[in-house]
A = this chain, B = another copy of it.
Amino acid sequence: LDIRLALTGFGNVGQGLATLLDRYGDTYLKRYGVALRLSGVADRAGAAVSLAGLDPVSLLEAKEQAGTVSAHSSGVPGLHGSDFLDRAQAHILVEAASTNFDDAEPGWSYVCGALERKMDVVLASKGSLALHFRELMENASRRGLQVQYSATVGAPVPSLQIADRALIGSEILAFEGILNGTTHQVLTAMTQGSSYDEGVRQAQEMGIAETDPTLDVDGWDAAAKVAIVANSVFGADLRIGDVDRVGIRGVTAAELAQARESGEAIKLIARAERTEAGVTAWVRPERRPLDDPLGRLRGDAMGIVFFTRPLGAIAATVDPSGESGGISTAMTVLRDVLNLARDRGWTEPHQT
């Protein structure tokens, strides 16, 4: 079965998606019986569209050579918005434009436009979820459409899959996590003697930093993620602004050294819990012992711990491979696409 994807945004994640479709496209066809095709890709300068599917490698070449996919042989400079969605005729919108926590645009308009056109949605960009979570889910549910977003909450960490599938029937009391790779990398680098600026630069080179680093270091990215997970697992309707937020700018080398001498480490922890007054969430630097599931993590590793009844504390952590952050996030977009296709009955039964 052919599944047409419309992709908005062709930065780290979008390019990672093209790379992975080139690498794994044949495997997925063989393993799951689905051919994933990019029928449209939009970036700031325009778009490329082809109902037969755009060749991923030539998209990457157009981007590298001309800075935009609209320079592709199937490119249309200036093509955007509704016109783009109409022409791409996709089954699924993959929204991966850069995150904007002010008005979530242009992502929010793309998402709403996709739902109006009966497309399912897979999100890599957090804005729409951090500002309009419940509205979005209710809109999709009313139309019988799916919205998947596991790429937005600390991409490779299987937070949502664990909450949804492994903890169904259990009580989730609270959860906490290291959900932002950049600040974790900066804190680890500073603990090892690097400066704050060097740490930020390393994270940028690893492809894990947001385009605007203040979104990372001031805790906005972690706040968005904790709100999204809390909305998902607690049925809450938190917005990013509802999360108490302290970033890492105030963490000093002396504090990091002191923690280390006590056998602990300072981590930017994001936490949410159910209380009698409702769901509360915060982000702030905290000390954690080294035998804590989060305290042992280093560098760009991430993780989450769910505190549950009766199963206890369930932790999931990721020590990333050497691949770039864009590839890793793109893989989690593909996982959402494949799960969505499976739940819709589009895939062949498979064993893996």
Contact = CB atoms under 8 A, between A and B. Distances in A.
A321 interface: yes
A313 interface: yes
Interface string A16-28: 0000100010001
A164 interface: yes
Interface stretch (A73-81, A100-108, A120-128, A333-341): A333-341
A262 interface: no
Interface in A290-342: 290-291, 293, 296, 298, 308-321, 323, 327-328, 331-332, 334-335, 337-339, 342
A344 interface: no
Nearest to A166: B158
B156 A161 contact: no
B339 A311 contact: no
B335 A169 contact: yes
Copies of this chain, how many? Answer: 2
A148 to B, nearest CB: 11
Contacts of A321: 308-313
Nearest to A330: B310
A293 B317 contact: yes
A162 interface: yes
A351 to B, nearest CB: 4
A169 B318 contact: no
A331 B352 contact: no
Nearest to A36: B169
B156 A312 contact: yes
Contacts of A168: 335, 338-339, 342, 352
B310 A331 contact: yes
A161 B170 contact: no
Contact of A328 (B141, B310, B328): B310
Interface size class of chain A, counting residues whose CB lies under 8 Å from the partner chain: 35 or more
Contact of A164 (B141, B172, B334, B352): B352
Contacts of A327: 310
A352 B293 contact: no
A311 B328 contact: yes
A342 B164 CA distance: 11
B316 A158 contact: yes
A312 B319 contact: yes
A166 B335 contact: yes
Nearest to A159: B166
A231 to B, nearest CB: 9
Interface in A145-168: 150, 156, 158, 161-168
Interface in A274-298: 290-291, 293, 296, 298
A349 interface: yes
Given A291-B290, A310-B327, A318-B314, A166 B170 contact: no
Contacts of A169: 24, 28, 331, 334-335, 337-338
A233 interface: yes
A150 B28 CA distance: 25
Interface of A: 20, 24, 28, 137, 141, 150, 156, 158, 161-170, 172, 232-235, 290-291, 293, 296, 298, 308-321, 323, 327-328, 331-332, 334-335, 337-339, 342, 349, 351-352
